[in-house]
Amino acid sequence: MTDSDLNIDTALADTPADAPADTAQEPRRPTVLQVLPGLVTGGVERGTVDMADALVRAGWRALVASSGGPMVRELERVGGEHFTLPLASKNPIRLRKNATALEELIAKEGVDIVHARSRAPAWSAWSATRRTGTPFVTSFHAPYSITGPVKRWYNSVMTKGDRVIAISEFISRHILDNYPIEPEKLRVIPRGADTAIFDPERVSAERMIQLSEAWRLEDGVPVVMLPGRLTRWKGQGVLIEAMAHLRDIPVLCVLVGSDQGRVRYREELEALTEKLNLKSVVRFAGECRDMAAGYMLADVVVSASIEPEGFGRVSVEAQAMGKPVVGSNHGGVAETVRPGETGWLVPAGDPAALAGALRAALTLDNGQREQWAARAIAHVRANYTKDLMCARTLAVYAELLG
């Protein structure tokens, strides 16, 4: 289906009076509408498309309303249907108009469940579902900052669902500690890696060679990798400082991710690299469109966030590829990494502690590395796959529909 504009006054064609009665109508498919600001890029957007795919495979209808973006094509490829609305806006007047438009969409398309994945769209969706009596689900993706009563009220819409999905135990605790909510409404459903993509057996040598040449990697030199957009809380500066503690061993540090316009922060990182005389060690790789191959080039993957991650997708994807992980010991990452079995957890913002864990990871012998890889892959496939995430979410939908 092409991207549908929300113009819902299309009339049904008249049925001829002498048309034969249809006595074998197909059973009506349950319909789920997911709402989010846009379909550009990111974990929320990826989860939306993954869920649409699972719904279609289960025989349901998968509708998505957003302001659009390049991932609309992916949504339509899996059988989802997109409706364009300016849901990224936080303007109160626009929020009310969006609520009216969603109410009309719910009625026209026979929507059974509305699932909101972000705060501004959630306010419009909550209003629409209260008017239509439609079950409402929210996904709480991050520990939204609480700087005062107004911000707390704004965030609270994510707790107004008939079911509230927390993407980690950390997020579940954050909700219970900060918002008045009935605990029985909460469901913890971790995000998951797509093991059809993040599978070391499916990455060809050609893909790895191509990426290695683009990143100017040197044969035989171990690689420490930190994937994540260049933003201060992701901890790239902490990793660069940690590399200064590892001058006695050959190693390359690859920072994978776009600055997304944060030019000043990138320049700050480059200046830190030069100040510590690490220009020959640190690579700024930019955006990577083949992260499965990227992980295969790494000897150890780092999640150095100085603020807690709601879930920590990088640590799960890296383990799915059989790579040891060094992560900050807080947030969702602390749940997904098994210290001493699949990785290490270190205090956030501590370059010396990070360097110590990296040294331990880089000195694993081949036999130990194979054992760690096997444990990491098994851990992810048992607990953190896309299929598990979708099945658990479908169960929440079924629960609401009785």
**379 with 390, same domain?**
no
Alpha helices (H) along 164-281: 169-178, 205-214, 236-243, 263-275
- Choose among 51, 100, 49: nearest CA to 75: 49
**CA atoms of 259 and 286, how far apart (whole Å):** 8
Q: Edge-to-edge, what's the strand order for the sheet holding 31-35?
A: 4-5, 81-84, 61-66, 31-35, 113-116, 136-140, 163-166, 186-188
**172 with 234, same domain?**
no
Q: Is residue 21 part of a domain?
A: no
**360 with 313, same domain?**
yes
Q: Is residue 37 part of a domain?
A: yes
**167 with 272, same domain?**
no
318 — pLDDT class (breaks 50, 70, 90): very high
**CA atoms of 65 and 55, how far apart (whole Å):** 15
Q: Exposed, middle or buried: residue 267 (CB in 10 Å: 0-12, 13-18, 19+)?
A: exposed
**213 with 188, same domain?**
no
Residue 261: its pLDDT value, please? 82
CA angle 266, 348, 274 (to 5 degrees): 30
Q: Is residue 8 part of a domain?
A: no
Residue 37, CB half-sphere, CA atoms under 13 Å: how many?
12
- Choose among 402, 276, 82: nearest CA to 253: 276
Residue 254: its pLDDT value, please? 97
Q: What is the DSSP letter of 339?
A: B
**48 with 186, same domain?**
yes
N-to-C CA span, the chain: 30
Q: How far is CA 14 from CA 7, 9, 18, 105, in A?
A: 20, 15, 12, 22
Q: Is residue 291 part of a domain?
A: yes
* Mean pLDDT for the stretch of residues 161-188: 96
Per the structure, the count of domains in the chain is 2
Q: How far, in whole angstroms, is CA 366 from its chain's centroid? A: 32
Residue 42: its pLDDT value, please? 80
Whether the per-residue pLDDT at 12 is higher than 50: the answer is: no
**184 with 297, same domain?**
no
Residue 26: its pLDDT value, please? 67
**37 with 184, same domain?**
yes
Q: Which of 18-32, 72-86, 259-273, 347-361 has the lowest mean pLDDT?
A: 18-32
5 — pLDDT class (breaks 50, 70, 90): very low
Q: Which of 9-18, 25-34, 287-296, 358-367 has the lowest mean pLDDT?
A: 9-18
**158 with 212, same domain?**
no
24 — pLDDT class (breaks 50, 70, 90): low
18 — pLDDT class (breaks 50, 70, 90): very low
Question: Residue 180 sits in which domain range?
Answer: 29-192+386-401
Q: Is residue 24 part of a domain?
A: no
* Mean pLDDT for the stretch of residues 93-103: 97
Q: Is residue 14 part of a domain?
A: no
Tens-place pLDDT, residues 215-231 = 999 999 999 999 998 99
**300 with 375, same domain?**
yes
Whether the per-residue pLDDT at 22 is higher than 60: the answer is: no
Tens-place pLDDT, residues 63-79 = 999 999 999 999 999 99
Q: Which of 33-37, 45-49, 185-189, 335-339 has the lowest mean pLDDT?
A: 45-49
Q: How far is CA 97 from CA 5, 108, 136, 161, 352, in A?
A: 15, 17, 19, 21, 53
**CA atoms of 229 and 134, how far apart (whole Å):** 37
* Mean pLDDT for the stretch of residues 45-72: 96
155 — pLDDT class (breaks 50, 70, 90): very high
Q: Is residue 245 part of a domain?
A: yes
Q: What is the DSSP letter of 39?
A: S
Q: Is residue 20 part of a domain?
A: no
CATH assignment of the domain containing 47: 3.40.50.2000
**Positive/negative CA dihedral, 39, 41, 42, 48:** positive
**372 with 397, same domain?**
no
Residue 359 structure tokens: 């040294």
**CA atoms of 319 and 325, how far apart (whole Å):** 7
**CA atoms of 28 and 274, how far apart (whole Å):** 63
**Residue found under tokens 């501590």:** 350
**234 with 171, same domain?**
no
